């Protein structure tokens, strides 16, 4: 299904305070579909070129504002993290000078969005970084969407090659972080399965939450026709269905408790939100360490490839061949036998290739 097209028409200037709607959810949990639906109510999302294009992994489009995404990525990188490597993520380690620069970039984005009236943003990284954005936003409404962890992990495995248990550990961390950082704010919890089964009902529910914020501007928001809603939501794009009996075999007791709290709605009442379970924490740290080791090995192998190319160029040079011929003649004259440099090079690279083939086979 092609990505929805954005209208170039900008909304009328707001007559009241704008609602700053923030969608928070783990990767592969329907945040893009949900954002596309909320935009139909009349919330501003951005210009067409503010978003990455659709692809095979998200045929309905991503709806991640490039400005928000760039700030989130920069924060993670400055902390030595990424969206999938968060074992050591700690926002308190962000230096004040760097934090101030990120804060100014974020405020500029928010000011631009505010000029268009009520708006919406989404980026799964916001689950981890919302404490930073919360300091900037004045009137946030947080829409939390959750999907069962096994379908999320299977989707991550298919897209990124991430092992299922690691994907589930990421799901737990993202979910707990989103619940903890949005406490005390207006918020609503949405189920991915319910969204895909009856998007019109979910959109009507979200519309009621927005109208209850009691703003003249929000009173102008309207629920579109069912046909328009169905054009945004395609259940056929759900490639990893929920299988509760199988899923329970993958989840630890703390993860099961969290999933049950999400399903019955009590997750919004958790006070405080329990921290990441010990098993998930250890798994994130261990796998992240393994990734670092693997990258180090690949870097070393790349260096060997570069060295091999330089060595080959030397061996093929005219000066080397002349020198090699003279050295060989002297060895024969002196009766000495020795493995040549090219032979040693060939033996080493053969061992490297053999190791690589075995590593790929694993």
pLDDT for 239 equals 64
pLDDT tens, position by position, 56-110: 655 555 678 999 999 999 999 999 999 999 999 999 999 999 999 999 999 999 9
pLDDT for 348 equals 59
d(CA 107, CA 2): 32
d(CA 77, CA 84): 12
Q: Helix count (H) and strand count (E) of the chain? A: 14, 4
- The count of structural domains within the chain is 2
- The domain spanning residue 35 has which CATH number? 3.40.50
pLDDT for 7 equals 42
- Residue 3 pLDDT greater than 80, yes or no: no
pLDDT for 1 equals 40
Kindly state whether residues 263 and 311 are assigned to the same domain: no
Tell me what the mean pLDDT of segment 194-201 comes to: 92
Tell me what the mean pLDDT of segment 215-243 comes to: 80
- Residue 247 pLDDT greater than 90, yes or no: no
Tell me what the mean pLDDT of segment 317-321 comes to: 58
pLDDT tens, position by position, 255-300: 999 999 999 999 999 999 999 999 999 999 999 999 888 877 766 6
51: containing domain: 20-276
Residues in the chain: 362
35 SS3 class: helix
Kindly state whether residues 261 and 346 are assigned to the same domain: no
Give the contacts of 17 (CB within 8 A, at least 6 positions apart). Answer: 138, 139, 215, 217
Residue 24 is assigned to a structural domain of this protein: yes
Kindly state whether residues 201 and 349 are assigned to the same domain: no
Residue 291 is assigned to a structural domain of this protein: no
Residue 289 is assigned to a structural domain of this protein: no
pLDDT for 244 equals 77
For 24-48, give one letter per residue: b (16+ CB within 10 A) or e: bbbbbbbbbbbbbbbbbbbbbbbee
Kindly state whether residues 230 and 309 are assigned to the same domain: no
pLDDT tens, position by position, 141-178: 999 999 999 999 999 999 999 999 999 999 999 999 99
335 DSSP 8-state letter: T
The residue behind tokens 């020795």 is 338
Q: What tokens were used for 202?
A: 């979910």
pLDDT for 83 equals 97
Residue 222 is assigned to a structural domain of this protein: yes
Kindly state whether residues 300 and 244 are assigned to the same domain: no
| The Cα angle at residue 131 between residues 184 and 219, in degrees rounded to 5 | 55
Residue 191: what are its φ and ψ, rounded to 5°?
-95, 135
Kindly state whether residues 323 and 260 are assigned to the same domain: no
pLDDT for 295 equals 75
Residue 181 is assigned to a structural domain of this protein: yes
Kindly state whether residues 306 and 212 are assigned to the same domain: no
d(CA 238, CA 223): 24
- Residue 140: strand pairing partners: 20
pLDDT for 2 equals 42
């Amino acid at each position: 299904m092609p990505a929805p097209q954005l209208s170039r028409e900008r909304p009328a200037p707001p007559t009241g305070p704008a609602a700053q709607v923030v969608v928070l959810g783990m990767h592969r949990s329907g945040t893009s579909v949900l954002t596309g639906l909320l935009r139909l109510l009349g919330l501003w999302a951005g210009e067409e070129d503010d978003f990455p294009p659709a692809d095979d992994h998200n045929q309905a489009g991503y709806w991640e504002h490039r400005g928000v995404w760039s700030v989130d990525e920069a924060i993670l990188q400055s902390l030595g993290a990424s969206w999938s490597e968060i074992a050591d993520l700690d926002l308190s380690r962000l230096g004040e000078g760097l934090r101030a620069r990120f804060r100014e970039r974020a405020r500029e984005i928010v000011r631009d969005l505010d000029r268009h009236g009520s708006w919406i943003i989404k980026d799964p990284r916001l689950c981890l970084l919302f404490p930073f954005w919360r300091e900037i936003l004045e009137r946030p409404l947080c829409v939390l969407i959750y999907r069962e962890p096994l379908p999320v992990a299977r989707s991550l495995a298919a897209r990124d090659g991430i092992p299922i248990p690691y994907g589930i550990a990421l799901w737990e961390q993202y979910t707990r972080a989103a619940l903890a950082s949005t406490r005390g704010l207006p918020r609503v919890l949405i189920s991915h399965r319910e969204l895909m089964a009856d998007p019109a009902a979910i959109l009507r529910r979200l519309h009621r939450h927005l109208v209850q914020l009691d703003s003249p501007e929000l009173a102008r928001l309207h629920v579109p026709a069912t046909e328009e809603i169905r054009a945004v939501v395609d259940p056929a794009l759900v490639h990893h269905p929920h299988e509760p009996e199988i899923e329970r075999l993958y989840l630890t007791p703390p993860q099961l408790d969290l999933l049950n709290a999400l399903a019955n709605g009590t997750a919004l009442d958790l006070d405080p939100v329990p921290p990441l379970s010990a098993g998930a924490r250890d798994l994130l740290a261990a796998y992240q360490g393994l990734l670092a080791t693997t990258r180090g090995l690949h870097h070393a192998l790349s260096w060997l490839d570069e060295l091999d190319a330089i060595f080959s160029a030397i061996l093929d040079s005219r000066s080397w061949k002349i020198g090699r011929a003279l050295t060989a003649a002297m060895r024969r004259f002196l009766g000495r036998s020795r493995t040549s440099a090219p032979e040693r090079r060939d033996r080493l690279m053969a061992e490297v290739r053999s190791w690589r083939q075995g590593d790929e086979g694993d």
